[in-house]
């Protein structure tokens, strides 16, 4: 049941963005839900509808109508996490394949976010630390993701992703023998509404992927992929376009497998507190036909 909450902004929240303020006040509600409440006009500041980036002032009067029963998105669950790095501001996790990043309308448990909420708050009874997700990996894709542990880190990481100050590289096992050692794949990507699928589309957005062969096998090739742009399903679409779909991508005619053979093995970004470039790496050996891959490591 929805109810109206009225909050007077304390001095300590002066100049804080409305979105960050609401996340702190309603710690069991999802960011997506709170953003939607602001968007539809269910939140007012001093009697006016403001956007999520509005900078609050001390003594501002915030009114918002929310359904507190919608708090399942932040439900803690004791899920094993492969943590590659952690400090006061960020966590870098090696996400397994077939795990959602956050709850959806269809699945609201067993996600990375559920596990992170448990992990971050297990030793802090009475408080709720909210993990921030500045980027995503598809459910089928495994590999490195960085999670923000506070609002400052979330803002700065999100800005770094928006400004393309991020280094991302993937490993993929593809069908066939890729003859060219290195190549750049350029093809526009868009969504076909009727089929509800993304693919190469004449009026789509510019999309670019760099491909380097890592190892060739009898009928498969291990390649490294670097997405210069970040379109939906870009790596899967571009690999299929050159006739070498990623193994397990049955939608695009690839060889069947128990998982999609796509793994985010390297991630680099400016640390939100120091702005120093940090890089993290983790390879996998469970989809490569040769065991030439090592354990997790990190370098600064």
User: For the chain, first and last CA: distance in Å?
Assistant: 49
DSSP letters of 232-274?
A: TTHHHHHHHHTT-PBTT-GGGTPPP-SS--EEEEEEEEE-TTT
Strand 277-281 relative to strand 189-192, pairing: unpaired
Residues in Cβ contact with 152 at an 8 Å cutoff, skipping those fewer than 6 apart? 89, 272, 273
Using CA atoms, how far apart are residues 185 and 179, in angstroms rounded to an integer?
14
Closest alpha carbon to 101 in 68, 79, 129, 125: 79
Task: Encode 75-85: b = buried (16+ Cβ within 10 Å), e = exposed.
Answer: ebeebebeebe
Whether residue 138 lies in the annotated active site: yes
Using CA atoms, how far apart are residues 16 and 130, in angstroms rounded to an integer?
17
Whether 248 and 259 have beta carbons less than 8 Å apart is answered as yes
Using CA atoms, how far apart are residues 152 and 132, in angstroms rounded to an integer?
10
Whether 244 and 175 have beta carbons less than 8 Å apart is answered as yes
Q: Which helix (H) or strand (E) holds 158?
A: helix 151-162
Integer CA distances (angstroms), 202 to 187, 188, 222, 250, in order: 9, 6, 29, 23
Using CA atoms, how far apart are residues 74 and 250, in angstroms rounded to an integer?
33
The one catalytic residue in 5, 87, 138, 194 is 138
Which are the catalytic amino acids? 138
């Amino acid at each position: 049941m929805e109810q109206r909450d009225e909050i007077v902004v304390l001095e300590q929240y002066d100049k804080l963005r409305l979105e960050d303020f609401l996340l702190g006040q309603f710690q069991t509600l999802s960011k997506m839900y709170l953003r939607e409440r602001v968007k539809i006009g269910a939140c007012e500041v001093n009697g006016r509808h403001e956007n999520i980036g509005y900078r609050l002032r001390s003594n501002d009067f915030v009114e918002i109508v929310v359904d507190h029963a919608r708090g399942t998105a932040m439900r803690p669950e004791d899920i094993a996490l492969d943590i590659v790095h952690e400090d006061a501001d960020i966590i870098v996790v090696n996400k397994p394949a077939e795990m959602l990043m956050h709850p959806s309308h269809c699945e609201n448990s067993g996600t990375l976010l559920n596990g992170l909420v448990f992990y971050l708050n297990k030793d802090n009874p009475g408080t709720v630390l909210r993990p921030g997700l500045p980027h995503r990996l598809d459910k089928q894709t495994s590999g490195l993701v960085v999670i923000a542990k506070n609002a400052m880190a979330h803002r700065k990481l999100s800005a770094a992703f928006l400004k393309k100050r991020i280094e991302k590289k993937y490993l993929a096992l593809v069908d066939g023998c890729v003859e060219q050692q290195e190549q750049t794949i350029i093809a526009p990507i868009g969504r076909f509404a009727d089929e509800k699928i993304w693919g190469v589309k004449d009026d789509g957005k510019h999309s670019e992927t760099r491909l380097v062969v890592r190892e060739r096998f009898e009928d498969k090739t291990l390649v490294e992929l670097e997405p210069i742009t970040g379109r939906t399903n870009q790596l899967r679409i571009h690999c299929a376009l050159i006739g070498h779909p990623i193994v397990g991508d049955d939608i695009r005619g690839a060889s069947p497998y128990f998982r999609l053979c796509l793994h985010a093995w390297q991630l680099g970004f400016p640390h939100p507190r120091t702005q120093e470039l940090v890089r993290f790496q983790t390879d996998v050996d469970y989809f490569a036909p040769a065991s030439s891959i090592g354990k997790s490591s990190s370098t600064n």
